[in-house]
Structure 1
Amino acid sequence: MKWSLPAAMIDARDLPELARAAEDAGFDSVAMPDSVFYPEHVSADYPYSPDGKRMWAPETPMPDPFIAMTAMAAVTEKITFYTNVLKLPLRDPLLTAKQVSTMAVMSGNRIAVGVGLSWIPEEFTFTGTEMRTRGARTNEAIEILKAVCAGRGPEWVEYHGKHYHFDRLMISPAPDRPVPVYVGGHSEAGLRRAARLGDGWISVNTSVDELTAAIARLTELRAEYGRGNEPFVINASPTGIGGSDAYAALAEAGVTECRVSPWHLYGVDFTSARDRLAAIRRFSDEVIGANR
């Protein structure tokens, strides 16, 4: 099982050092969240808290994930970077593919893209995009991303869908290895999207029981779509576990990459860069080393 370090809500100026520390500690990847802005008033409940409220303040740092990933890739050599998750339907897919393609080339194929839909109506309203069609547009945008970043270098591509349409064009530079696209979401639609279009699936913070059920459903759906024998990443953020044995059990259940925030696990000061780095080193010593 691989190890991923979430870099959410961290000062942008601390991210390069964090990435270097993660690489030195044996983490395989760094996950960057996506939040375009913080609407003062939101007309929908936050889906991942009991009371429907967001747990972070408006001024919480949420650097642009593509810029942050590029900066971190520039100061590291092996560790990979991915979005968890990019709100894809808020963005033009061709412009997104151009950015991803360039990042992949400049990083030496150390970029992946995790995608999701966004739950905030105001994000769609303020960016001039349509919330009603977000699922269908995300499906098409994934196909466009995978066509541009197919791993064959620059080549002619075209796309003719219901929501996006363009004739033959070429984007350069383009990577010589495919850029993985992971799909987030626990709904049936999200699991189906991951099974049909994705190279993997990304969970939210959730219990082991919920993870096990989602993995079982993904296995069924991948077989249904004729993709059961293809490589597939299960990127999970389990709650309520700790210790080497528990992580080994996750691997047995099918998790291929585990996201862990060591500062939360050890109860250290999240806002302290020094304490964060110490927690990373401790997790490396106590868990990563024991599970290699």
Structure 2
Amino acid sequence: MKWSLAGAMIGALELCELAQVAEEVGFDGIAMPDSVFYPERVSAPYPYTADGKRMWSPETPMPDPFIAMAAMAAVTSRIRFYTNVFKLPLRDPLLTAKQVSTMAVMSRNRVALGVGLSWIPEEFTFTGTEMRTRGARTDEAIEIIKAVCAGRGPEWVEFHGKHYDFDALMISPAPEIPVPIYIGGHSEPGLRRAARLADGWMSVNTTKAELASAIDRLTELRDEYGRADAPFGVNVSPTDVRDLDGYRELETLGVTEIRVLPWYRYGVDVGDRQARLDSIRRFADEVIAQY
């Protein structure tokens, strides 16, 4: 089992220290969220709360994940960094591929890309992108990024799809090891996208029962797409598992990595920097070391 910290809603100036402590005590990764901006008015409900309201205020820090990951990679040597999740259809795939390939090389292959679609209509409107085609464009963008970051160094790539089309080009630097791509989300299209295109799947914050259902469906879909024997990671954030036995049960379900927020586990004031760091050390002693 691998263990990651969820780096959401932490001040930008605290992230590098957090990464150093997490690496020191044995965490394997840090997951960074993606939020381009906070619209004053949102015309769609937040899909992961019962009342459709977001759980954070407009001024909650959401540093750009790629910049944050690059900064944390510069002050660490082992721990990995990945997005959870990067709103890919809001961005140009070639520009994204350039950023990801550079981060992969400069971090010595310690980055991965977790991909999502975005549920906020205003994010598409205000960035001049189309929400209606977000799924199809994401599929094509994943193929483009996988081609650029295939793990063979710089090479000629071209792509001719419905939404993106370009002739042979080369992006350098490019990694010597493929950059893993994970898909987030519990919807049927999201699970199908993960089973068909990705190296793994990421859950939202949810219960063990919901995780078991999603993992069963992923198993069925991977078999359907002829990918049952391919390596596949399952990265989850369980809301009702808090002890070693529960974590071991998740492993038997097929979970390969667990994301945690130790400061919430121990009832720490999220604004207390030292208490947050202490909670990371405590979780490493009480869970990771014992596991």
TM-score bin (small chain): over 0.9
CA distance in 2, matches of 1:274, 1:244: 26
**237-246 vs 157-166, which deviates more?**
237-246
Q: Could you tell me which amino acid in structure 1 is paired with residue 135 of structure 2?
A: G
Partner of 1:227: 227
Partner of 1:156: 156
Q: Could you tell me which amino acid in structure 2 is paired with residue 58 of structure 1?
A: P
Q: Secondary structure at the match of 2:289?
A: helix
Partner of 1:20: 20
Partner of 1:180: 180
CA distance in 2, matches of 1:273, 1:118: 30
CA distance in 2, matches of 1:289, 1:205: 24
Q: For each residue in 1:156-211, what CA deviation from the matched residue of structure 2 results, as whole angstroms up to 9, or x when unmatched?
A: 00000000000000000000000000000101000000000000000000000000
Q: Secondary structure at the match of 2:151?
A: coil
CA distance in 2, matches of 1:161, 1:27: 39
CA distance in 1, matches of 2:262, 2:188: 31
CA distance in 2, matches of 1:265, 1:252: 23
Q: For each residue in 1:123-161, what CA deviation from the matched residue of structure 2 results, as whole angstroms up to 9, or x when unmatched?
A: 000000000000000000000010000000000000000
Partner of 1:280: 280
Q: Deviation of residue 253 (structure 1)?
A: 1.0
Partner of 2:72: 72
Q: Could you tell me which amino acid in structure 2 is paired with residue 147 of structure 1?
A: A
CA distance in 2, matches of 1:55, 1:211: 21
Q: Deviation of residue 272 (structure 1)?
A: 1.1
Matches within 5 A, 1:199-238: 199-238=199-238
CA distance in 2, matches of 1:247, 1:28: 16
Q: Deviation of residue 251 (structure 1)?
A: 0.7
Matches within 5 A, 1:117-132: 117-132=117-132
Matches within 5 A, 1:237-252: 237-252=237-252
Q: For each residue in 1:84-138, what CA deviation from the matched residue of structure 2 results, as whole angstroms up to 9, or x when unmatched?
A: 0000000000000000000000000000000000000000000000000000000
CA distance in 1, matches of 2:220, 2:54: 33
CA distance in 1, matches of 2:222, 2:271: 41
Q: Secondary structure at the match of 1:241?
A: coil
Q: Could you tell me which amino acid in structure 1 is paired with residue 198 of structure 2?
A: G
Partner of 1:263: 263
CA distance in 2, matches of 1:77, 1:278: 21
CA distance in 1, matches of 2:253, 2:233: 13
CA distance in 2, matches of 1:119, 1:70: 26
Q: Which runs of 5+ in 2 are unaligned?
A: none
Matches within 5 A, 1:29-178: 29-178=29-178
Q: For each residue in 1:251-271, what CA deviation from the matched residue of structure 2 results, as whole angstroms up to 9, or x when unmatched?
A: 111100000100011111111
Q: Deviation of residue 244 (structure 1)?
A: 1.0
CA distance in 2, matches of 1:39, 1:200: 31
TM-score (norm. length: structure 1): 0.99
Runs of 4+ in structure 1 over 4 Å off? none
Q: Could you tell me which amino acid in structure 1 is paired with residue 217 of structure 2?
A: R
- Alpha-carbon RMSD across the aligned residues, in angstroms, is 0.5
